Amino acid sequence: MPRPLRPALPLAAALLAASPSAAQAQGLSPQEQAIVRYVDAHADEAVDFLERVVNINSGTLNVEGVREVGRAFQAPLDSLGFDARWIALPDSMRRAGHLFAYRQGTRGRRVLLIGHLDTVFERDHPFQRFTREGRWATGPGVNDMKGGDVVILYALKALHAAGALEGTTITVAFTGDEESPGAPLAEARRHLVEAGHASDVALEFETASRDSTGEYATTARRGHNEWVLRVTGRQAHSSGVFSEGAGSGAIFEAARILTAFHEELRGEQYLTFNPGVIVGGTGVEFNEDEGRGTAFGKSNVIAQSAVVQGDLRTLTVEQLDRARERMRQIVARHLPRTQAEITFAEGYPPMAPTEGNQALLDLLNTVNRDLGSPAIGAWDPGRRGAADVSFVAPFTDALAGLGVHGTGAHAPGERVDLETLPMQVKRAALLIYRLTR
């Protein structure tokens, strides 16, 4: 017999039966207890809303789909007293734009909440629908990161129901192209950076982390930048390779440089670099935007050209600058009759660890204590990719990875643990509450 698609006991009732009531929670004020009660009472509604938005395809290049998901969030944000606005990007960027929502007040710290509306699953991908079975649900973007967006929305709903939004300054930033940012990146993230400058705290709701030892939030994450290495040599008959007149050729020079990167830069904590694609030969064509190229050559001809494209990840700006300089120095040691140049594109900056970020985690753990939940640790920054929070981390205290718990992000079968959704909403709502008192 197939298992039922929904548990016999509604999620809200199951949570209330399995966990202490709000009144039993230690250290919660009456208003905070009201926030917790709202979350428990609306747990099934939150899942239904998640199903609704997951079933709207919003692959980054599906401009109308991303906008439709934005509209699904815009209406409830407006009803909570936010000024929700769709921010269009230039047509040349071929991206949908972003949804930003604002509340202006005078009480507490100014808080920025960050999510994104797009997924990696475009319209032609076979993985398209939300499917629920017991405590788990699968679907495109169900944890990365429509689940996190739902955490933001229902945390704000709970605060509103308890009368706790009055007087607060909160900005919600839902970007529409996190999975494949539009170019130029400075323009694609201009409004987010402006929001960061106008905020004291940034909370980002990408997928939460956990392992066999417990749960974690993110106080630091590495940035992501790209580089392109272009090499030229002297085309000549291969019988003369290594001679003074012919030299070593472009492919040997590219190999020398990559080997030196591997031997001289590898091993520094949180520094990684990866050559993702290489083409070389007598004639080379390469498209940097698509990471795609073609090459022609013959075994008896010394290669004239080679192109390598790769990435570079670091934890701090200082580490990034140091790595770039070392790479330039390696490139400059040319083999005979060759030339090489490496260029670096601006990408996602690092979110460096700071005392302010740690203080946010400490505050979150007071929430966990008062909810009767175990403390959360700081996730290893080497295990997280780049994200939008990094653009504002230089101007704010920041905490990330506050979304839902799930598995398989970016892959067919991506899923979310629905029983963890209410706790993530409670944590977010109470953290925002305490920041804005």
| pLDDT digit string (tens) for the chain, length 437 residues | 333 333 333 444 444 444 444 444 568 999 999 999 999 999 999 999 999 999 999 999 999 999 999 999 999 999 999 999 999 999 999 999 999 999 999 999 999 999 999 999 999 999 999 999 999 999 999 999 999 999 999 999 999 999 999 999 999 999 999 999 999 999 999 999 999 999 999 999 999 999 999 999 999 999 999 999 999 999 999 999 999 999 999 999 999 999 999 999 999 999 999 999 999 999 999 998 888 999 999 999 999 999 999 999 999 999 999 999 999 999 999 999 999 999 999 889 999 999 999 999 999 999 999 999 999 999 999 888 789 999 999 999 999 999 999 999 999 999 999 999 999 999 999 999 999 99
Find the distance separating the first CA and the last CA of the chain, reported in whole Å: 52
Q: What angle do CA 386, 389, 391 make, to 5 degrees?
A: 90
Residues in the chain: 437
Alpha helices in 317-420 (DSSP H): 317-331, 355-371
Domain 224-348 has CATH 3.40.50.2300: no
Question: Is residue 331 within 8 Å of 281, Cβ to Cβ?
Answer: no
Domain ranges of the chain: 11-221+351-435, 224-348
If DSSP states are collapsed to H, E and C, what string results for 52-119?
Answer: HHHCCCCECCCHHHHHHHHHHHHHHHHHCCCEEEEECCCHHHCCCCEEEEEECCCEEEEEEEEEECCE
CB proximity list for 303: less than 8 A, separation 6 or greater:
233, 235, 249, 250, 251, 252, 280, 281, 282, 297
- Express the helix, strand and coil content of the chain in percent, nearest 5 each: 35, 25, 40
- Tokens 């308890």, residue located: 162
Q: What's the topology of domain 11-221+351-435? A: Aminopeptidase (3.40.630)
| Nearest by Cα to 423 from 5, 10, 16 | 16
Cα–Cα distance measured from residue 259 to residue 28, given in angstroms and rounded to the nearest whole number = 58
Hey, what's the torsion of the CAs at 298, 299, 301, 302, to 10 degrees?
120
Residue 25, pLDDT score = 56
Residue 22, pLDDT score = 41
Cα–Cα distance measured from residue 99 to residue 83, given in angstroms and rounded to the nearest whole number = 10
pTM of the model as a whole: 0.87
